[in-house]
Amino acid sequence: MSDTHVVVGAGGVGSILAQQLAESGKKVIVITRSGRGPKHALITNVAADASSVSALLAAAPESAAIYNCVNPPHYDKWAVEWPPLASAFLAYAEKTGAVLVTCSNLYGYGPTSGPLTEDLPLNGTWINSRVRADMWREAKRLHDEGVIRATEVRGSDYVSPGTQSRFGDRVVPVVKAGKQVQLLGELGQPHTWTAPADVAALMRIVALDERAWGKAWHVPSNAPKTQCEVVMDIAAALGISNPRVSSVPKPVVGLLRLFNPLIRELTNGNYMFDAPFIMDDSAARKTFKVAPTPWDVVIRDLVAAYK
């Protein structure tokens, strides 16, 4: 078996995963459109088109595992941008024998009642939810037929710096400036939040554990918190009391939906915030003996990124 691991994508999860793999002594090839990625003696950064299996093979002719940490550039065009990427990953896994480990989310389940478990049907009702559900169905089918080996990790909404988190660029600098934070959806409903470092840690584990293959796994995450509670925790870490928080008025959201396709697609997932949205991660905890990064550390690291 090859001792090389291929990470495609160098966003929040991909960069952390590559670093974790390298620090554990693995040789890592990071593939991005730009060729830029994390720095480490065991990491090689390569520029390649991840939607081309020939490009993936040229960058890494063999590997123990390939990790799909891609983030397509246009959230409102997943139906067009994801299929060629997903097909290339499947073809690469088939040609090389590498385990395919996909970083996913909870969209595929669609609206549900009660805690989310991995055995729920994938009944996503909106475009992006169906895209993610279809990706796993095809990977699972090929795995069950013995064509590839595949597994998937699913996290809830991230708490991390940057634009991919509700609480990164949209919240921390605003709270620091003493301004009012505005968020989409209800502020008082409990919601599970996931740390990207915990996503990366689980991906690294399931890649080499046969018990994980052919299944999806929920990333160990901290106890649910409301959006308002998370902002309060961020403010406390910044030494600020009584931050101002409000929800974007629904008439305003409705108006934005008419003219902005990105907002329209984002708000298709409002059901995840308008009612309790709680992920059950007990399967991964019990099987792999893993736990999430402590909440205070997650918040501390988030705030530290903006100091």
Q: What ranges do the domains of the chain cover?
A: 4-157+194-221
Residue 260: the pLDDT is 76
Q: What share of the chain is helix, strand, coil (3-state, %, to 5)?
A: 45, 15, 40
- What is the spatial distance between Cα 110 and Cα 244, in angstroms, rounded to a whole number? 31
Region of poorest pLDDT, from 162-171, 186-195, 209-218, 223-232: 162-171
Spatial neighbors of 64 by CB under 8 A, at least 6 apart, are: 1, 2, 3, 4, 5, 98, 99, 207, 208
pLDDT at 253 over 90: no
Average pLDDT over residues 171-185: 94
Residue 100: the pLDDT is 98
134 band by pLDDT with thresholds 50, 70 and 90: very high
Residue 20 vs residue 74, higher pLDDT: 20
Average pLDDT over residues 292-298: 98
Residue 254: the pLDDT is 80
- What is the spatial distance between Cα 85 and Cα 75, in angstroms, rounded to a whole number? 14
Average pLDDT over residues 168-176: 95
Residue 98: the pLDDT is 98
Q: Quick one: what percent of the chain has pLDDT higher than 70?
A: 99
Token reading at 272: 């995840």
Q: How many CB atoms lie within 10 A of CB 115?
A: 16
Residue 282 vs residue 184, higher pLDDT: 282
Enclosing H/E stretch for 182: strand 181-183
Residue 257: the pLDDT is 77
Give the tens place of pLDDT for each residue, 224-240. 999 999 999 999 999 99
Residue 265: the pLDDT is 80
Which of the 8 DSSP states describes residue 52? -
Residue 279: the pLDDT is 98
- What is the spatial distance between Cα 5 and Cα 44, in angstroms, rounded to a whole number? 11
Residue 3: the pLDDT is 92
179 band by pLDDT with thresholds 50, 70 and 90: very high
Give the Å distances, CA to CA, from 307 to 167, 172, 266: 15, 10, 29
Could you tell me the fold of the domain covering 4-157+194-221?
Rossmann fold (3.40.50)
Output the 3-class SS for 217-273.
Answer: EECCCCCCECHHHHHHHHHHHHCCCCCCEEECCHHHHHHHHHHCHHHHHHHCCHHHC
Of 13, 54, 66, the residue nearest 37 (C-alpha): 13
Give the tens place of pLDDT for each residue, 63-103. 999 999 999 989 989 999 999 999 999 999 999 999 999 99
Q: Exposed e or buried b for every residue in 189-211, given b needs 16+ CB within 10 A?
A: bebbbbbbbbbbbbbbbbbeeee
Region of poorest pLDDT, from 27-36, 54-63, 224-233, 252-261: 252-261
pLDDT at 264 over 90: no
Residue 140: the pLDDT is 98
Average pLDDT over residues 252-270: 78
176 band by pLDDT with thresholds 50, 70 and 90: very high
8 A C-beta contact, residue 102 and residue 88:
no
pLDDT at 153 over 80: yes
- What is the spatial distance between Cα 159 and Cα 124, in angstroms, rounded to a whole number? 23
Q: Which amino acid is at 167?
A: F
